[in-house]
A and B are shown apart, each in its own frame.
Chain A
């Protein structure tokens, strides 16, 4: 267990996820065999053999669990369980994992069953193309080393036979894509590939039939093989990022307890909640749809929705937005909108309207191929016409024109961009940064402005006690014990600060007074932890949170939202790189100014609404600036979509994470300059590779036009150029020891601290 010692902080966080989940687990389970149900849990903290063993043994030991199997690649556990006699009898899966120190989320198995049809097709295609290329190359080498007439024909025929199924099976990926592009009047890199491969095959077949000396079967199949490798790597990288991101899906409100007109209670999924439905909302639950409070008092955590760091009071008549969290008291609410008309849906509409710079952006590869393909095809055509005019020998003219197509076939060009992006994405992945697609890196390399959200991005979004060591240890222990009963962020901070201490008191009748604090009795004394005016019965000048015993002051606690680690360094590094840094927040001006001053951000705006953030980014874009948006909340999602490129921490709201191009899993904001630096370097390598591909063609094309290319030369040229391009891309992973790099060997704390969701 050495490397898997659960991070205590993560274990503390888990308690709040474990409660509401029994019904949710049932909702997410699918039938798997007679009497069995299967559910997928995402466990981002699982990362080694010991984790597999710990998780599988602990879960299998639970009554009702048939078996549990960890998939370490996707960080998921598939649990098959048997429904007990009582209907509400669900094994405490999430709580059990929580005790082990693994944070677990429900994984919605409906969206995919863990298999990736595109990847299987690609891998099968690579396998078939590799088999065919190897065998044909074997036969071709014999031909090149001087096999005579009859033997050569035999080898050519065998090659032709092997190549047919390989082209049909492995090549259809390119044929399909090329056909799609042509049908819509576009040009992509697959068009010259498909054309080159099929023409090479056709000509070689004709040569074989007429006992000609040169056949290009090896070129046509090994070209496919190389390109398929590049395409598969690209897909694996992207898919890996996608799976890791979707695995972070939190236990968001999937449903709520609804009160029927006849008074009975029922747990229903969020999308079945109609307008006017009456819901019960326990402390710690997320608001599933926009709703108005009917009865009860509580405080609401809006940090993920509006960016406000202080919890908001809620009483009868208050309107709650979907996605906010009920913190301290039970509420009865009436739904004022259905799930698809709620705040979340409004954000999605704003996002769709905002989708701007990104849709217009064209990838370097597409721009290159749009330029490249016509030039290549024109060259081949001119070669054919030239030889026709010069010699009048149409067979010779066609052979040479096709040789031009083969030698220019964009093997190096097809690999030039994806291989660099795969290496760069891998490098970022190792540093806990997920990239959605390659164009994101190209766009990031071009930015000149970085806009940050405050709550949850520049700060952690969860308060922490300041100067905890100045509080008397006994008082802290009592306060921590009391605070453990609440979900209020400040109470959480006190409980965390006093972790491991024991007060030795036995509290009775602990109750939470919404808007005031916690009250409990111990040994005849009444302890209160909360707002000073309430705990002491009088106003104090300092304010803040106070612990009192029978109304007598015991200790005061001050808390603040702490700055995210690495934030100051990241802002400074961006500034050094000549990038303008700005901050936009929905929080109050005072909080915003304090953070901006600490991080030395001169340009900031407070109290910004979601639409206002989008407008600000649109204004920057109108000035011709390329904006990077870094944000985490629901309210940031439209701005994330509007920006030229965007990043979000893993703790961000689902929508925000989906809108972002990059997602970083670790706490530190150093991810931003790192991603920028890797992207810039990748951009440089891509341009080098493209320049090399052009240089290669400048040398090879004249040779081909003059008719000096034989299959042997084509094979050497193609493999040689691919190797050069790949080797150049590998230089990216060799560039260790830069200024932004941490000392070697700093791995993230396992057990999920880095993946901790926001409270």
Chain B
């Protein structure tokens, strides 16, 4: 029982971390051009400095 008190918050925290990461990626525009990002990885040198 006592281990649950520690483990459940840890599980929730880690899950929340993933959720927060996803929302951050969404907001910073990483999902704006999914088709383009899939192709850009194949380009040798990004003329824009590679901040895709």
- Interface residues in chain A, defined as those with a beta carbon under 8 Å from any beta carbon in chain B: 48-49, 52-53, 56-57, 60, 67, 69-74, 114-115, 120, 123-124, 127-128, 131, 134-135, 138-139, 150-151, 154, 158, 162
Interface majority SS (helix, strand, loop, mixed), chain A: helix
Q: Are A151 and B1 in contact (CB under 8 A)?
A: yes
Q: Tell me the B13-52 residues at the A interface (CB within 8 Å).
A: 15-16, 18-19, 22-23, 26, 31-36, 39-40, 42-43, 47-48
Q: Give every chain A residue within 8 A of B32 (Cβ-Cβ).
A: 71, 73, 114-115
Q: List 20 A-B contacts (CB under 8 A).
A: A49-B39, A52-B39, A52-B40, A53-B43, A69-B48, A70-B36, A72-B35, A73-B32, A73-B33, A73-B35, A120-B26, A123-B31, A127-B22, A127-B23, A127-B26, A128-B19, A131-B15, A131-B16, A134-B15, A139-B8
A-B contact count (CB 8 A): 60
Residue among B4, B16, B47 facing the most chain A CB atoms (10 A cut-off): B47
Q: Are B8 and A56 in contact (CB under 8 A)?
A: no
Q: Known contacts A124-B23, A127-B22, A131-B18; decide if A52 and B4 are in contact (CB<8 Å).
A: no
How far does the Cβ of B49 sit from chain A's closest Cβ, in whole Å?
9
- The distance in angstroms between the C-alpha atoms of A72 and B52, with both chains bound, is 13
Given A52-B40, A52-B43, A124-B26, 13 other A-B residues pairs in contact with their CB atoms under 8 A: A52-B36, A53-B47, A56-B47, A60-B47, A70-B36, A72-B33, A72-B35, A72-B39, A73-B33, A73-B34, A131-B18, A135-B15, A154-B4
**B11 contacts partner chain A, Cβ-Cβ < 8 Å:** yes
Q: Which residue of A lies closest to B52 (CB)?
A: A69
**B12 contacts partner chain A, Cβ-Cβ < 8 Å:** yes
- The distance in angstroms between the C-alpha atoms of A560 and B11, with both chains bound, is 72
Q: Known contacts A123-B31, A131-B19; decide if A151 and B26 are in contact (CB<8 Å).
A: no
Q: Are A123 and B39 in contact (CB under 8 A)?
A: no
- The distance in angstroms between the C-alpha atoms of A541 and B52, with both chains bound, is 66
- The distance in angstroms between the C-alpha atoms of A98 and B1, with both chains bound, is 70
Q: Are B48 and A49 in contact (CB under 8 A)?
A: no
- The distance in angstroms between the C-alpha atoms of A138 and B23, with both chains bound, is 22
- The distance in angstroms between the C-alpha atoms of A356 and B12, with both chains bound, is 54
For the complex of A and B, 8 pairs with smallest distance between CB atoms: A49-B39, A72-B36, A72-B35, A71-B33, A131-B19, A73-B35, A73-B33, A49-B42
Q: How large is the interface on B (under 10, 10 to 19, 20 to 34, 35 or more residues)?
A: 20 to 34
How far does the Cβ of B5 sit from chain A's closest Cβ, in whole Å?
9
Q: Which residue of B lies closest to A126 (CB)?
A: B22
Q: Are B36 and A151 in contact (CB under 8 A)?
A: no
- The distance in angstroms between the C-alpha atoms of A114 and B31, with both chains bound, is 12
Q: Give every chain A residue within 8 A of B19 (Cβ-Cβ).
A: 127-128, 131
Q: Give every chain A residue within 8 A of B31 (Cβ-Cβ).
A: 123
Q: Give every chain A residue within 8 A of B22 (Cβ-Cβ).
A: 127
Q: Give every chain B residue within 8 A of A56 (Cβ-Cβ).
A: 47-48
Q: Give every chain A residue within 8 A of B4 (Cβ-Cβ).
A: 151, 154
Residue among A69, A73, A162 facing the most chain B CB atoms (10 A cut-off): A73
Q: Which residue of A lies closest to B5 (CB)?
A: A154
Q: Give every chain A residue within 8 A of B8 (Cβ-Cβ).
A: 139, 158
Q: Give every chain A residue within 8 A of B39 (Cβ-Cβ).
A: 48-49, 52, 72
Q: Give every chain B residue within 8 A of A53 (Cβ-Cβ).
A: 43, 47
Q: Which residue of A lies closest to B37 (CB)?
A: A72
- The distance in angstroms between the C-alpha atoms of A718 and B13, with both chains bound, is 28
Residue among A53, A71, A123 facing the most chain B CB atoms (10 A cut-off): A53
Q: Give every chain B residue within 8 A of A135 (Cβ-Cβ).
A: 11-12, 15
Q: Known contacts A56-B48, A151-B1, A151-B4; decide if A74 and B43 are in contact (CB<8 Å).
A: no
How far does the Cβ of A652 sit from chain B's closest Cβ, in whole Å?
26
Q: Give every chain B residue within 8 A of A123 (Cβ-Cβ).
A: 26, 31
How far does the Cβ of B20 sit from chain A's closest Cβ, in whole Å?
10
Contact of A73 among B16, B36, B47, B48 (CB under 8 A): B36
- The distance in angstroms between the C-alpha atoms of A67 and B49, with both chains bound, is 11
- The distance in angstroms between the C-alpha atoms of A48 and B36, with both chains bound, is 8
Residue among A52, A70, A71, A127 facing the most chain B CB atoms (10 A cut-off): A52
Q: Give every chain B residue within 8 A of A70 (Cβ-Cβ).
A: 36
Q: Give every chain B residue within 8 A of A151 (Cβ-Cβ).
A: 1, 4
Q: Which residue of A lies closest to B22 (CB)?
A: A127
- The distance in angstroms between the C-alpha atoms of A72 and B31, with both chains bound, is 12
Q: Are B36 and A57 in contact (CB under 8 A)?
A: no
- The distance in angstroms between the C-alpha atoms of A138 and B12, with both chains bound, is 11
Q: Give every chain B residue within 8 A of A127 (Cβ-Cβ).
A: 19, 22-23, 26
Residue among A49, A74, A158 facing the most chain B CB atoms (10 A cut-off): A49
Q: Give every chain B residue within 8 A of A131 (Cβ-Cβ).
A: 15-16, 18-19
Q: Give every chain B residue within 8 A of A71 (Cβ-Cβ).
A: 32-33, 36
- The distance in angstroms between the C-alpha atoms of A74 and B35, with both chains bound, is 9
Q: Give every chain A residue within 8 A of B12 (Cβ-Cβ).
A: 135, 158, 162
- The distance in angstroms between the C-alpha atoms of A71 and B38, with both chains bound, is 11
Q: Give every chain A residue within 8 A of B48 (Cβ-Cβ).
A: 56, 67, 69
Q: Are A49 and B40 in contact (CB under 8 A)?
A: yes
How far does the Cβ of B34 sit from chain A's closest Cβ, in whole Å?
6
Q: Which residue of B lies closest to A53 (CB)?
A: B43
Q: Give every chain B residue within 8 A of A49 (Cβ-Cβ).
A: 39-40, 42-43
- The distance in angstroms between the C-alpha atoms of A654 and B42, with both chains bound, is 36
- The distance in angstroms between the C-alpha atoms of A56 and B33, with both chains bound, is 15
Q: Give every chain B residue within 8 A of A67 (Cβ-Cβ).
A: 48
How far does the Cβ of B8 sit from chain A's closest Cβ, in whole Å?
6
Q: Give every chain A residue within 8 A of B15 (Cβ-Cβ).
A: 131, 134-135
- The distance in angstroms between the C-alpha atoms of A67 and B51, with both chains bound, is 13
Residue among B34, B36, B40 facing the most chain A CB atoms (10 A cut-off): B36
Q: Give every chain A residue within 8 A of B16 (Cβ-Cβ).
A: 131
- The distance in angstroms between the C-alpha atoms of A127 and B47, with both chains bound, is 33
Q: Are A57 and B47 in contact (CB under 8 A)?
A: yes
- The distance in angstroms between the C-alpha atoms of A53 and B8, with both chains bound, is 48
- The distance in angstroms between the C-alpha atoms of A128 and B16, with both chains bound, is 9
Q: Give every chain B residue within 8 A of A69 (Cβ-Cβ).
A: 48
Q: Give every chain A residue within 8 A of B35 (Cβ-Cβ).
A: 72-73
- The distance in angstroms between the C-alpha atoms of A52 and B41, with both chains bound, is 11
- The distance in angstroms between the C-alpha atoms of A120 and B26, with both chains bound, is 8
- The distance in angstroms between the C-alpha atoms of A665 and B19, with both chains bound, is 38
Q: Give every chain A residue within 8 A of B23 (Cβ-Cβ).
A: 124, 127
- The distance in angstroms between the C-alpha atoms of A73 and B32, with both chains bound, is 8
How far does the Cβ of B28 sit from chain A's closest Cβ, in whole Å?
12
Q: Which residue of A lies closest to B42 (CB)?
A: A49
How far does the Cβ of B33 sit from chain A's closest Cβ, in whole Å?
4
- The distance in angstroms between the C-alpha atoms of A135 and B43, with both chains bound, is 39
How far does the Cβ of A36 sit from chain B's closest Cβ, in whole Å?
15
Q: Give every chain B residue within 8 A of A120 (Cβ-Cβ).
A: 26
Residue among B8, B16, B35, B40 facing the most chain A CB atoms (10 A cut-off): B35
- The distance in angstroms between the C-alpha atoms of A135 and B8, with both chains bound, is 10
Q: Give every chain B residue within 8 A of A115 (Cβ-Cβ).
A: 32
How far does the Cβ of B4 sit from chain A's closest Cβ, in whole Å?
7
Q: Are A74 and B26 in contact (CB under 8 A)?
A: no
Q: Which residue of A lies closest to B49 (CB)?
A: A67
How far does the Cβ of B1 sit from chain A's closest Cβ, in whole Å?
7
Q: Give every chain A residue within 8 A of B40 (Cβ-Cβ).
A: 49, 52
- The distance in angstroms between the C-alpha atoms of A640 and B38, with both chains bound, is 38
Q: Which residue of B lies closest to A135 (CB)?
A: B15
Q: Are A74 and B11 in contact (CB under 8 A)?
A: no
Q: Give every chain B residue within 8 A of A158 (Cβ-Cβ).
A: 8, 12
